[in-house]
Amino acid sequence: MSLLREAEKCIANQQVHRGLNAFITPIPRAGQWLDRVKEADQRREQGNSKSPVDGRLIAIKDNICTRDLPTTCASGILDKFNSPFNATVVGQLEDAGAVVAGKTNLDEFGMGSNSIYSRFGPVKNVGRDGQEFSAGGSSGGSAVAVAAEQCYAALGTDTGGSVRLPAAYTGTVGFKPSYGLISRWGVVAYANSLDTVGIMGRTTSSVRDVLSILNRYDEHDPTSVSNSSRRRILSQITSRSISKPLRIGVPIEYNIAELSPLVRKAWLRSLADLQAQGHTIHPVSLPATKHALSAYYVLAPAEASSNLAKYDGVRYGTQSEDPTYSNTRGSGFGSEVQRRILLGTFSLSADAMDNYFIQAQRVRRLVQQDFNAVFNTTHPLAAINDRDAGHSKPGDVDVLVCPTVPSPPPLLSDLTSPSTGSSSSSLYAYVSDVFTVPASLAGLPAISVPVTLAESSPNSNNSDSDAGQVAGIQVIGQYGDDELVMQVGELLEGQRFSG
């Protein structure tokens, strides 16, 4: 199929599936992008494509700045905001020949796990029977755009699971790279120390193609990993010996009571499958995991309360009619953003700082040490950052394999119905991040790949037994082991397991 036909099909799907609300700003049916795809087709015919993504449509989450399309962050306070500059990742993709396929819907500023907290309405993840499920969040728009073939691949952001969780809910591949590999310049900050740009695709191989374009040092991002550190990471990766067969770690703390039968079965089948492929399975312990979620929900809102202090309507953004700070921020921010700003403001206040923020930072350090203790490679940057950590002898697994999320996607109607009060539903949403948050706290690479259980389950939301049920399986690796994580993801990706 020509690139042009593929692109036109994506655009047609954007029109057909408008009701899914995946895009806040789609691109017009006819536009300058057409010529660029045609040129890419010519280059491909002549065998000199600019890159693997030359002429491909890539959707961009609407908290990543684009000069040519609005950047709203799904917030009332930026509902008409046009950024004066392109994020580095957008420039990199365009230089590689890719075309921005529009700006995708999200939870406001990336805060949410179901993509329902958007000024532009919730994203819909429609099952085969027409029921509307959560698309996951916060990159739900990117996930649905990929799943419904409205683009070739999409960029999301992942702060605590915001790419992996929607991937698991929509049956797509969602990849969160090691912290600092992809530039954050132009990515609207939610919690800088955790924020990463993530990549979503229908296959790991498409994700890898996009990563190859974005995996570069950027001088504009002070947290971008420098070229010398990249060389250090690379030399460690190339010199290390990946176990043959692979040693797969299974974190026992992840086998929680709340795990749904479907997810537990998918996890077991995946491990059995890896074993059948000749790899070995090893239980490991990550004891700090049980505190990781609480630590995350202290640290991320704390940073958010600071990062979002800039939205006052004075220099840009939407100002309330009576332009006091409190009116502008009160009417511009949605309920979940307000909740997290208040949480963060509290945990940073002088009386709470020691008990919340400082404690959470300690937990974060413990989580990092947990991971360092189970992987058979040392953290390549730990030598300089963490000399005092004194972690004992390294562990013996190459990667960890676990579920991405404890349960299948909830129905949208359950999330928004008045019977489940908004506070209890947000608590439920926080719990869905329990498996994704640890890798975020430690800055590790992680991927969620879809596996299918062909058997129909008794409590199924999706009764079509032929299609089976999809669950997300997560692979987590040591810092810098992004490629290994993708390789293991590929071993499982698209596997169909019979009951």
Partner 1 sequence: MLRPWLNSGALRCLGRPRHPSRPLLIHPTNLSSPRNLHATSDRIPLRKQLKQEAKSLKSQKKQRKENEEASRQTWELTVGVEIHAQLDTAAKLFSRAATSTSDAPNSNVALFDLAFPGSQPEFQAATLLPALRAAVALNCDIQRVSRFDRKHYFYQDQPAGYQITQYYEPFARNGYVDLYDYDGIAPEDGERVRIDIKQVQLEQDTAKSQEYPPSTQLIDFNRVSHPLIEIITMPQIHTPATAAACVRKLQSILQACGAVTTGMELGGLRADVNVSIRRRGEAPGHCQYDGISGLGQRTEIKNLSSFKAVEDAIIAEKNRQIRLLESGGVVEGETRGWTIGSTETRLLRGKEGAVDYRYMPDPDVPPLVIGDDVIAHLQQTLPTSPDALLVQLTGPEYGLSIEDAKPLIELDDGARLEYYQDVVDILCALHGDLDKASQVVLARMAGNWVLHELGGLLTKADRSWDAEIVPARSLAELINHLQLKKITGPTAKQVLAMIFEGDRRPVPQLLEEDNLLLRPLSREEYLTLAKSAIAQNPKMVEQIRSKNQLGKLGWFVGQMMRTGEKGRVEAPRAEEVLRELILQG
Could you give the residue numbers annotated as active site?
61, 138, 162
Position 87 contacts partner 1 (CB under 8 A): yes
Q: Which is nearer to partner 1, 99 or 300 (CB)?
A: 300
Q: State the Cα torsion 226-230-233-236 to the nearest 10°.
A: -130
Among 59, 189, 288, 298, binds partner 1 (CB under 8 A): 189
Question: What are the distances in angstroms from CA 433 to CA 111, 158, 491?
Answer: 12, 11, 24
> Could you tell me if 429 and 356 are in contact, meaning their C-beta atoms sit under 8 angstroms apart?
no
Contact window for partner 1 (CB under 8 A) among 79-87, 261-269, 374-382, 389-397: 79-87
Q: Considering all CA atoms of the chain, what is the largest pairwise distance in Å, rounded to the nearest integer?
A: 67
For 16, 95, 100, 168, 202, the CA distances from 175, given in Å and listed in that order, are 27, 22, 19, 11, 11
Report the residue number, 345 or 495, with the smaller CB distance to partner 1. Answer: 345
187 binds partner 1 (CB under 8 A): yes
Which of 1, 81, 45 has its CA nearest to residue 319?
Answer: 81
Helices (H), 30-128: 32-45, 88-95
- Which position has the token pair 């955790």? 194
Binding mask 278-307 for partner 1 (x = CB under 8 A): ------------------------xx-xx-
Count, residues near partner 1 per rule CB under 8 A: 42
- Position among 315, 322, 392, 498 found at the interface with partner 1 (CB under 8 A): 315
Judged by CB under 8 A, which of 11, 53, 73, 337 binds partner 1?
A: 73
Which of 13, 44, 81, 126 binds partner 1 (CB under 8 A)? It is 81
One character per residue 335-374, x = contact with partner 1 (rule: CB under 8 A) = ----------x--xxx--x---x-----------------
Q: x-or-dash pattern for partner 1, window 35-64, by CB under 8 A?
A: -----------------------------x
Q: Of 221, 172, 216, 167, nearest to 193 (Cα)? A: 221
Minimum distance from residue 311 beta carbon to partner 1 (Å):
8
Question: 180 vs 489, which CB is nearer to partner 1?
Answer: 180
Distance CA 436, CA 156 (A): 15
The smaller minimum CB distance to partner 1, of residues 321 and 466, is found at 321
List strand residue ranges (DSSP E) for 243-348, in order: 247-251, 280-284
324: left (phi over 0), alpha (psi -120 to 50) or beta: beta
> Any contact of residue 213 with partner 1 (CB under 8 A)?
no
Candidate residues 71, 118, 372, 487; the one interacting with partner 1 per rule CB under 8 A: 71
Among 122, 140, 186, 450, binds partner 1 (CB under 8 A): 186
* Sequential DSSP letters for 164-185: HHHHHHHT-EEEEPPTTSS--T
CB of 316 to partner 1, least distance (A): 7
What gap in Å lies between CA 458 and CA 364, rounded to an integer? Answer: 39
Burial class of residue 496 in the structure, from the number of CB atoms within 10 Å of its CB (0-12 exposed, 13-18 middle, 19+ buried): exposed
Minimum distance of partner 1 from residue 161's CB (angstroms)? 19
Q: Which residues sit at the interface with partner 1, rule CB under 8 A?
A: 64-65, 71, 73, 78, 81, 83-85, 87, 184-189, 191-193, 219-223, 302-303, 305-306, 308-310, 312, 314-316, 325, 345, 348-350, 353, 357
